[in-house]
Each structure stands twice: as C-alpha cells, then as structure tokens.
C-alpha cells in the first residue's frame, strides 16, 4: 500500500517536472496588498551567468516577505522557457500572453540581453526572439513595476519609445549604459524589503532599491534609470513595505530618474 502511494507521488512529481510550462500564472485576484505576486525570467545566454540567481534570489526574498509562491501566482522561467510572448500584449503581432504572465504579477524582473528597442530571448518559437518596445503594453492588467537588467534599454533616444509601454505601469527600472552581469537581484531585494517590519533594517523605495541594490556591484561608468508614469511612483514602496499609490491613466508626461554608479 505504501509502495502504491509512493508510486503515485513519484508519478505526480514526474508529471510536474516534465511539463515545461504551466498553462497559467497569477490568480487574477488583484488583491495586490494582501497577495502580491512576482514574475521573473532570464536567458543566461552567451556570457550571462547570474540571470537565474537574480530571479531566484528575488523570488525567495519576496516569498519570505509574504509574497505569493508559485502556487499562488508567482513564477520564474529561464533559458528557453523564458518566452517573448510572456511580455507581449494579446493583440500584438504574433499574439502575446502578457495578461497570463508578466502583466499578471505586481513586480517583474528580466535578466538578458537588451538594447534601446528590444529585449532578447533565446527561444525563437514563442513567439520570436525579440520583444520590441511596440509589442509591450504593461500595467493594463496588473503589473506595477518591472526591472530590466539589460544593457542600453533606457538610453536617451529610447525613453519616449518605452514610455509607450506604460499602460498604468508605475515604474520601468533599467540601464542607460551597459550593465555588468552581477548578482544584483539579491541586493535589490534586500533594499526593497524590511525583513521583519521592525528589526535591524528598513525598506527603501522601489527606485532607490534599484539604484542602490545594483550599485553594490556595478562599477563607475554604469548609468541606471527609472521611468515613472507619474512622479509619485518614484517615491513608492512595493506592496507591504510602505506607501504605494493608485494606478492613474497615462498621459504624455513622465519622469526619468538617472543615477550614476560609483
């Protein structure tokens, strides 16, 4: 009998492991303050080594702080399981599923190659390898903050382009310059979260967490940026750590915060 139960458990585990991608993420409850969710994807292509650590460190830290686990709607995909369509809106060319993935969580992270007009993915089949800025519409479903650990996404000439992706998204954090492959997810998470609400540390705003967390490892010459749809979002904290402000419809105006690493 016990062998039978063990057999069933092993079979179930094998099925779960064998399925490369679940059919959904998030729980669509929008109870952001009580059940916030995190979604992270990485590619670890070419010379990138720390993408998986970035995402896993962020996931673990947020889960310790009470955010949802993978059963509750958070997710992590890496390598060829990181798909461009997860970031793309439904009606975009080729069809996207951001409403099930990136736009169905509260905080998102991407580590991979980038440039001023796109994010690059390894898998060419879902839907292709490049997410162009015009294929993204973030925040109209759930997403508040997205952190893009990629080179040159927020250059001077691409700010207006990426502003077009902000459909009630609060903040895009990225880099104007090259950004080095470092274990930054862990540090950013430390700043985002006050570990126990009263103990030895305090939480920082999302913007400061991105700047200070990355600056621990990034060298002089690296220029980080955060784009804010509404200036108040530059001063808000993630859910559960301080003040977070309501979504507001976008307009042509937006704020850009720039930080030069030391």
Partner 1 sequence: MKKLFIVTMVVLLVVIGNIGCAESGSADLSVSLPTVEGQSGKPEFKDKIKYKDFGDSIIVYKVKNKNVGIDDVDALGTQLGLDGDIGYDDDGQYVMASRGEKVAAQLYVWVNSGAMEYDSFVFDDVDPTDEIDPALLASLPSEQEAKGIASAFLTDNGLMPSDGISGIEVSIGGSVELRNSETGEIVMSNPTHWLIQWDREIDGIPVAGSGADLSVRVGPESTIQRVFKCWREIEGSYKELKIKSAQDAYEELINGKGSFYTDLSVKEVIVDQVELVYWMDSVDQEQNYIVPVYQFSGTCLDADGVAIDEQPFQGWCEALK
CB 108 within 8 A of CB 145: yes
DSSP-derived letter for residue 163 is: H
DSSP-based three-state secondary structure for 208: helix
How many C-beta atoms surround the C-beta of residue 161 within 10 A? Answer: 16
**Of 127, 129, 108, residue with least CA distance to 119:** 129
CB of 23 to partner 1, least distance (A): 30
The CA distance from 31 to 22, in Å, is 22
CB of 80 to partner 1, least distance (A): 17
Nearer to partner 1, 72 or 232 (CB): 232
CB of 43 to partner 1, least distance (A): 9
Nearer to partner 1, 104 or 184 (CB): 184
DSSP-derived letter for residue 247 is: P
Interaxial angle between packed helices 51-64 and 184-192, expressed in degrees from 0 to 180 and rounded to the nearest 10: 20
The CA distance from 172 to 153, in Å, is 10
CB of 161 to partner 1, least distance (A): 8
Nearer to partner 1, 137 or 190 (CB): 190
**Of 109, 111, 112, 82, residue with least CA distance to 97:** 82
Structure tokens at 166: 């902000």
CB of 88 to partner 1, least distance (A): 20
Nearer to partner 1, 27 or 123 (CB): 123
Nearer to partner 1, 31 or 49 (CB): 49
The CA distance from 101 to 16, in Å, is 19
Binding site for partner 1 (CB under 8 A): 46-49, 111-115, 120, 149-152, 155-156, 159-160, 163-164, 176-182, 186, 190, 195, 199-202, 204, 208, 211-212, 215-221, 231-232, 234-235, 242-243, 245, 252-260, 262
CB of 61 to partner 1, least distance (A): 10
The CA distance from 112 to 260, in Å, is 21
Residues 6+ apart with CB under 8 A from 60: none
CB of 67 to partner 1, least distance (A): 18
Nearer to partner 1, 97 or 158 (CB): 158
Nearer to partner 1, 26 or 250 (CB): 250
């Amino acid at each position: 009998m016990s062998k039978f139960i063990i057999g069933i458990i092993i079979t179930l585990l094998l099925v779960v492991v064998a399925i490369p991608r679940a059919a959904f993420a998030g729980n669509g409850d929008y109870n952001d303050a009580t059940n916030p969710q995190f979604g992270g994807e990485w590619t670890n292509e070419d010379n990138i080594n720390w993408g998986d650590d970035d995402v896993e460190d962020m996931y673990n830290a947020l889960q310790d702080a009470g955010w949802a686990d993978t059963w509750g709607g958070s997710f992590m995909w890496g390598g060829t399981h990181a798909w461009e369509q997860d970031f793309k809106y439904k009606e975009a060319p080729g069809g996207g599923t951001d409403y099930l993935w990136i736009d169905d969580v509260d905080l998102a992270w991407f580590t991979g190659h980038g440039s001023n007009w796109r994010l690059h993915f390894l898998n060419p089949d879902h839907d292709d390898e490049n997410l162009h800025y015009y294929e993204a519409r973030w925040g109209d479903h759930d997403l508040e903050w997205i952190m893009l650990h990629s080179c040159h996404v927020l250059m001077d000439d691409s700010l207006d382009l990426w502003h077009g992706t902000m459909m009630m998204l609060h903040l895009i954090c990225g880099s104007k310059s090259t950004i080095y492959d470092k274990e930054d997810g862990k540090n950013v998470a430390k700043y985002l979260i006050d570990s126990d609400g009263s103990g030895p540390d305090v939480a920082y705003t999302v913007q400061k967490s991105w700047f200070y967390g990355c600056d621990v490892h990034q060298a002089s010459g690296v220029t980080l940026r955060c784009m804010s749809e509404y200036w108040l979002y530059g001063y808000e904290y993630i859910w559960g750590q301080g003040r977070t402000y309501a979504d507001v419809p976008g307009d042509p105006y937006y704020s850009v915060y720039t930080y030069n690493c030391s």
